[in-house]
Amino acid sequence: MSSETPQPEYLDGEPSEPSRSGRRWGLVAGATVGVLAVAGAGAWGVSTLLGGGPGAAVAAPADTLAFLAVDLDPGAGQKVEAYKTLKKFPALADRLGGEENLRRSLVEAFLTDAPCDDLTWNDDFEPWLGQRLGAGVRPGGDEPVPFVVVQVTDETKATDAVEEIAACGEEDPELPGMAFVEDYMVLAEDDETAEGVAKASAESSLADDDGYTTWVDEAGGGGIVTGYLAAEGPKLLLEEFGDFGEDATAGTVAGRVAPATGELDDPSDLATMTPEELEEQLGELEMEDDTDLDLDPGPDFMEPDVDQLREAFEEFEGAAVVARFDDGALEVEAAMSAVGELDPSEASDSGLSELPATTAVALGLGVGDSVVEDMLASMAESMGQDAVDELVDQVEAETGLTPEKLQELLGDGVSVALDSSVDLESIFSSSSGIDVPAGIRIDGDPDTILPVLEELVTAAGADGVLQVESSDSAVAVGFDADYVAELVGDGDLGGQDGFKSALPDLGDSAGGFFVDFDAGDWLEPALESDGDEELKANFEPLDSLGATGELDGDVVRGVLRLSTD
């Protein structure tokens, strides 16, 4: 599905340490990107709305492993939709200016917090700044190569501007490497690296790569934000950041021992020892609080098996995430290659739609006939079968819950709900806290579900504390008897406007998450107690939030939608 990528050395051998110069240029490049859009938006709370469309991919090489891009003019009316939506929030309305120049609004928002005051939109940005930018990582010899691409309208003015930005607040500024391709400026650690990125993208760009185009299309097409992870991406992350095993364990122990008693000649030597060598060296070393040093890192199932993770991602083909604006809502859609055996596409209805109409927060999961078995098989692929067996045995010993009983307990679908009548302030101030209108609804045959649920409640010592009710087709459990009785009935949450706006595709999903900001006044106490009128005003436009996930063939797809009034 994706084009063949040469295997970089660091994916086969030991990852190398990042150079100091690499870290230094990264700060400069990061500051540059921040001035342009991302950091500027983050200064006032909307950095997640920026990221880009496929336009900037024309300046990225086809072998790019991960890419995040910003497109402030993505077409399809998204620019207008973004402006109209963001203008509803008082904190943003005064900063956005006109919809015709969102770039200026973002840059000027950043400049208010810049470490120097001699940069201006008119003099330092408007003469050269385009509508698109992106940041990516591609394979290198010993370590991955990060780069940034920025659309420009004038190469000379863009070069001068980068020098000015790099010097902002710096006594001894260090310039990143620069090169140009198409109408983009490439920034990297040095000129040679930047020129290598430019040359590679000119020969074959990410925008023409089958893997990139396939996964962006799977995520609904480009938007204001587009992110991409190539098939080799997870392997890169494992090698660069998956430092598990004995060395990591020893390093963790050393971190706990070093500040203890000061009796060791050189505590840093502990970082190179195996757990067995540490046991022999330290013996019964006592900490300052007179407790014995525990070298046991925990149950085996808590230690990730890197080899198993590598194997699990052998069939991984890629992923993409796109953010767009649509009908007064921010929508983020993600699609990725399926990993493991879990198949939620065969799950039943989660039961979310049947919750009470007054529900404020809810989470639902449709349950398939073999969901527990599939879940354990998927866990075994990443953790190893022995670790999963240990986890299963521990759960059974503590709760009496076997995989078979868990499958029966889950029924056809499980949903967790919090009603909008909840008094959030009293929850934290009350000593009892057991009258909270919240609970769990399990759809399915009560004759199968109830025996397992009652056994679990007894094992937890919660008899008389947890209330259990059942109907012909559902079981509910919670703290408040009146709410549990309502929860087990046939509610109409699915018929509410906020629910339909946040979860328009729930019918095709195995489950979902929902928040209704307008249900009653459940948020008022929290907002009032803070005393921040500006915060309260910026919550006012929010209507609802919804998230769904499904497995469509070999593609895992998720959608998050934040709607406004």
How much is the pLDDT for 141?
73
- pTM exceeds cut of 0.95: no
Report mean pLDDT in 10-residue bins for the chain, 565 residues: 44 41 37 35 31 72 94 72 78 63 75 80 91 91 87 94 83 86 94 96 95 94 91 75 44 38 49 59 48 47 58 82 88 86 61 94 90 86 86 91 94 94 72 76 95 90 90 94 94 93 80 91 76 78 90 86 90
Residue 141 burial (10 A CB sphere; 0-12, 13-18, 19+): exposed
**Do 209 and 251 belong to one domain?**
no
- Cβ–Cβ < 8 Å for 73, 129: no
Pairwise CA distance, residues 304 & 326, whole Å: 40
- Cβ–Cβ < 8 Å for 137, 206: no
For the chain, how many structural domains are there in total?
Answer: 3
How much is the pLDDT for 63?
94
How much is the pLDDT for 323?
92
**Do 546 and 494 belong to one domain?**
yes
**Structural domain boundaries, residue 532:** 344-367+411-564
Whether 150 is covered by a domain: the verdict is yes
CA angle 118/121/124 to nearest 5° reads 65
Coil, strand or helix: which one is 273? Answer: coil
How much is the pLDDT for 430?
53
DSSP helix, strand, coil percent of the chain (3-state; round to 5): 45, 20, 35
C-alpha dihedral (199, 203, 206, 210), degrees to nearest 10: -160
Whether 103 is covered by a domain: the verdict is yes
**Do 87 and 232 belong to one domain?**
yes
How many H helices and E strands in the chain? 22, 16
**Do 151 and 225 belong to one domain?**
yes
How much is the pLDDT for 75?
66
Whether 477 is covered by a domain: the verdict is yes
**Do 144 and 119 belong to one domain?**
yes
Whether 6 is covered by a domain: the verdict is no
- Enumerate the β-bridge partners of residue 179: 186
Residue 334 burial (10 A CB sphere; 0-12, 13-18, 19+): buried
How much is the pLDDT for 559?
93
How much is the pLDDT for 98?
55
**Do 258 and 185 belong to one domain?**
no
Pairwise CA distance, residues 382 & 403, whole Å: 19
**Do 188 and 250 belong to one domain?**
no
**Do 290 and 351 belong to one domain?**
no
Please name which of 413, 334, 336 lies closest in space to residue 371, comparing C-alpha atoms: 413
Whether 132 is covered by a domain: the verdict is yes
**Do 177 and 35 belong to one domain?**
yes
**Do 133 and 224 belong to one domain?**
yes
**Do 233 and 253 belong to one domain?**
no
Please name which of 215, 220, 227, 213 lies closest in space to residue 325, comparing C-alpha atoms: 220
**Do 188 and 107 belong to one domain?**
yes
Whether 434 is covered by a domain: the verdict is yes
